[in-house]
Structure 1
Amino acid sequence: MWVPNIEVASGPIYLAIADALEADILAGSLAQGDRLPPQRELAYQLGITLGTVTRAYAEAERRRLVKGETGRGTYVAPESQKVSPLIPKEGEPETCDLARNFAYPFLNPSLSDGLVRMAKTVGIERLNGFVPSEGLKAHRETGVLVFKDYGLDADPDRVAVTCGAQHGIQVTCQALFLPGDAVAVDQFTYPSIFSSLAAQGLKAIPVPALTGGGGGLGAMDPDALAQAVRMHHVKGVFLMPNMQNPTTHTMSIDERTRLVEVARQFDLKVIEDDPYTPFLADPLPAFGALAPERTASIASISKVCSPGSRIGFVHVPAPFEDSIRNKIGESTWMASPITAELISGWVREGHLSKALRVKRRANSVRFDRARKILEPYFLQSGSHKVFGWLALPEDVDPDALQAALSHQGISVLSSRYFQAKGQKPAPYIRLTFGSEENEDRFDWALDRIKTTISTFAEPPDLIRPVG
């Protein structure tokens, strides 16, 4: 009989049971069609009330993990999860897209010019075969150049080429942690990190943020991180120091230093994922520079100039060099050397830098318009940040707002996508500035967002400063 381990769980017991059920399904311990124990029997085994188990099963059914059948019991449900709104679909109805963070793809370097250059490259045929799992030396040296924009002087021998940042996160977690380990994450964070950790048998522990200036959210609270380590035996921490997704916060040097102190105190491994850093004019030192002995850094080209290339880079501490190579080899053997060569050409010849300059100028204009149109609501963002975190009145349901805007042909993301499952969505939505190409449609969408919010609640009396 399935009995969840909730001895070290924090928060409501019914959520701990639902979380354990979800983790066991992802880990393969429970399969489609497996029958769960009767509610009364599970309550007896855990020493809790029947009502608590009833709430846990209801929460699991809400997440589409299980299905109850009268007279037969509760079973692990067949896969019926809706496709994430972040995943593009070919031929999908046209909407004004402020949900997906495609940072000005219409300003990317010319793909056709890049392919023509590649075709004329001497020895290009060598890219049509197998290469080392960590990538060719020339491509790893390109990663070194990319990491310079992240405030990190990388060692090419510790750089590996991956199939984008998400693949980089997966193989890095596999290299640094063991199944069952707990990893601290921000209370609002990159949506895929929850499923990525769970799929590898790792447990995500959300940690609250400090309150920033003007009421915005700051960096992960170092004291709360220390407490999470003591309570949950956390082994590592996942951070986005620059333009944190979704809050947009960029850590100060003091915030970075305090988190490094906690990491060293408790011997935590650090994964820093900073896909938006190149948009910043003057990035601060990376965690890989501040704590090189324990930090794995991830860089991506997807958010900068070419999601279609599926090229990213990881830089790991020396003890994990071989492990990273093995994990890449086990997952996909290698990232494509063909698209890695395309990206290398763009970096070496300055096309990447040129595209970034153009995108920064465009983003500054978009941010100024967003700030003005959405006043008096508080938009945590900045002229160099490619998305914004819009604070809603406390009584506005972000899921309901997202649905209402969807009916008007506007896509945004509720805070729910950036929180651990089972938590009540906080009053925020994320808006991206660079996915919609048409300027007039962008302005129209912002105006409709402001108008729609006003139908849910009265505007706030005070205007908080933009972060």
Structure 2
Amino acid sequence: MTIWCPDLSMASGPIYLAVADAIEADIRSGALAVGERLPPQRELAYQLGVTLGTVTRAYREAERRRLLRGETGRGTYVAPEEMDVSPLIPREDRSSDLDLARNFAYPHLNPDLSKGLARLARTPGIDRLNGFVPSEGLASHRETGASLFDLFHLTADPSNIALTCGAQHGIQVLLQALFRPGDGVAVDEFTYPSILNSAPHLGLKLVPIPLMQATSGEFLGMDPAALAEAARSQDVKGVFLMPNMHNPTTHTMTLAEREAIVAVAREFGLKIIEDDPYTPFVETKLPALGALAPELTASIASISKLISPGSRIGFVHVPREYGNSVRNLIGESTWMASPITAELISGWVRDGTLKRTLAEKRKANAIRYELASAVLGTSRLQGAADKVFAWLGLPVGVDPGVVEANLAHQGVAALSSRYFQVSDRGVKPYMRVTFGSIVGEIEFRRALELLDWARTSDPGERFRASPVG
């Protein structure tokens, strides 16, 4: 087969943009068809006589334009005009799901919304919430954010807090406020799936950094020496971290691990985005990165996993110098987070509802973890009773993609490691197992038993009828 190779003889400007433009032109003309595989980056670089980094940057730019789609372990392909819906996005009717994939953290234990709305209706001066407010949110709601950050082990200044439409919106705003297109942002080798798409669409280069591992094989925190090397050699300007209940490995960084990363960040002037939505579940009380390095760190707090994803309220706490940029970006993207739902959340924080709901969810999670340990065993299960998901190692030779597909055939949603890895890296033999999206205990056990069967059965038997009743 003839390798695709663009003619750049008439190109002007940056070569990487010329390659991306050529990809776009050939897709529009039909010279590159949907599903067609592009040449490996190293091979195209050789054909064009340019550096590998130039082609890598060109492919990333084409992915940002939604022209290409990287498939871990397989290569880069021309993307369809209509992308597949992510398995992380919920459907309207999920009543029959055996859902070990989406990490919704016990939404059936969330507070009674009708009671919350009744209380909200009695709030004095409520009509003022039905108008425009500052993009950073009302002062009273930023005070709520400061109270919430206490649960994240950060003493926050309300004047440095802004409200966002959930944590994911907060991540987008902070990526834009702290970095510029072309900057490198370090992430763990396994990381939050949303940033794998959002950062490249903003023109940012994600740089995966290895995680340290214990002698038992358990994953630990980001390797500070590898981060330092990336800062020296790959134009890394910042780092995205989840210090508590890392998604997906569940690891909570020790104080020494946090201090080592902060030392590297200070040495190289790296900006830190700290996203820790599960911190209030974690029993270990360690200072946030924003407490250890307040001059470098932008921290995110969210109530979606705690009491109310439907309210779409999150909070960001940033160094003062980035405050105006954050306010402007919130205004440009959505003008403001809803003051109505912000007041709903503030009431739940003030009256103790948040504290009571967290206690109930922690209790339920301990029971689910105990069951998962009994069914799946603890030798390959990284997690704990205060972690709302676990990281499951698979037997040698078992393909996590095959396990995921087989589970889907049995009506169980699960996520293999490929959803958490930066493109162009081989898929590792792990699955993330969530505890709180299935309501019933019987259904949760059945999903675990099907997972146990799928990961251990003979490959030739996997698509036969499940032995689990």
For 2:77 and 2:458, locate their aligned partners in 1 and report how far apart those are by CA, in whole Å: 38
Residue of structure 2 aligned with 1:117, choices 112, 116, 119: 119
- Give the aligned partner of residue 396 of structure 2: 394
- Residues 452, 164 of structure 1: alpha-carbon distance in 2 compared, 3 angstrom cutoff: same
Q: Is the contact made by 2:300 and 2:316 (CA closer than 8 Å) also made in structure 1?
A: yes
Q: Do structure 1's residue 232 and structure 2's residue 234 form an aligned pair?
A: yes
- Residues 31, 304 of structure 1: alpha-carbon distance in 2 compared, 3 angstrom cutoff: farther
- Give the aligned partner of residue 134 of structure 1: 136
- Residues 286, 36 of structure 1: alpha-carbon distance in 2 compared, 3 angstrom cutoff: farther
- Give the aligned partner of residue 241 of structure 1: 243
Q: Do structure 1's residue 289 and structure 2's residue 284 form an aligned pair?
A: no
Residue of structure 2 aligned with 1:147, choices 138, 146, 149: 149
Q: How big is each residue's C-alpha offset from its partner over 1:145-191, in whole Å with a ceiling of 9 and x where there is no partner?
A: 01001110000000000000000000011111111100000000000
Identity of aligned residues (%): 56
Q: Is the contact made by 1:416 and 1:426 (CA closer than 8 Å) also made in structure 2?
A: yes
The 5 Å alignment of 1:311-350 reads 311-350=313-352
For 1:75 and 1:163, locate their aligned partners in 2 and report how far apart those are by CA, in whole Å: 33
Aligned partner of residue 215 in structure 1, secondary structure: coil
- Residues 353, 75 of structure 1: alpha-carbon distance in 2 compared, 3 angstrom cutoff: closer
Aligned partner of residue 80 in structure 1, secondary structure: coil
Aligned partner of residue 263 in structure 1, secondary structure: helix
Q: Is the contact made by 1:32 and 1:77 (CA closer than 8 Å) also made in structure 2?
A: no
Aligned partner of residue 137 in structure 2, secondary structure: coil
- Residues 41, 310 of structure 1: alpha-carbon distance in 2 compared, 3 angstrom cutoff: closer
For 2:148 and 2:223, locate their aligned partners in 1 and report how far apart those are by CA, in whole Å: 29
The 5 Å alignment of 1:199-238 reads 199-212=201-214, 214-238=216-240
Paired AA for residue 307 in structure 1: P
- Residues 437, 30 of structure 1: alpha-carbon distance in 2 compared, 3 angstrom cutoff: farther
The 5 Å alignment of 1:177-216 reads 177-212=179-214, 214-216=216-218
Q: Is the contact made by 1:2 and 1:36 (CA closer than 8 Å) also made in structure 2?
A: no
* TM-score (norm. length: structure 1): 0.85
For 1:180 and 1:360, locate their aligned partners in 2 and report how far apart those are by CA, in whole Å: 41
For 1:425 and 1:159, locate their aligned partners in 2 and report how far apart those are by CA, in whole Å: 38
TM-fit CA distance, 1:47? 5.5
Q: How big is each residue's C-alpha offset from its partner over 1:239-292, in whole Å with a ceiling of 9 and x where there is no partner?
A: 000000000000000000000000000000000000000111342100000000
Paired AA for residue 449 in structure 2: D
For 1:322 and 1:343, locate their aligned partners in 2 and report how far apart those are by CA, in whole Å: 25
- Residues 240, 115 of structure 1: alpha-carbon distance in 2 compared, 3 angstrom cutoff: same
For 2:122 and 2:26, locate their aligned partners in 1 and report how far apart those are by CA, in whole Å: 52
Unaligned stretches of 5+ residues in structure 2: 1-5, 9-14, 33-37, 70-75, 460-469
Q: Is the contact made by 2:281 and 2:362 (CA closer than 8 Å) also made in structure 1?
A: yes
Unaligned stretches of 5+ residues in structure 1: 4-16, 67-73, 458-467
For 2:385 and 2:456, locate their aligned partners in 1 and report how far apart those are by CA, in whole Å: 26
TM-fit CA distance, 1:331? 0.7
TM-fit CA distance, 1:311? 0.4
- Give the aligned partner of residue 463 of structure 1: none
Q: Is the contact made by 2:395 and 2:456 (CA closer than 8 Å) also made in structure 1?
A: no
Aligned partner of residue 214 in structure 1, secondary structure: coil
- Give the aligned partner of residue 441 of structure 2: 439
For 2:149 and 2:222, locate their aligned partners in 1 and report how far apart those are by CA, in whole Å: 23
- Give the aligned partner of residue 11 of structure 2: none
- Residues 350, 213 of structure 1: alpha-carbon distance in 2 compared, 3 angstrom cutoff: farther
For 1:356 and 1:76, locate their aligned partners in 2 and report how far apart those are by CA, in whole Å: 45
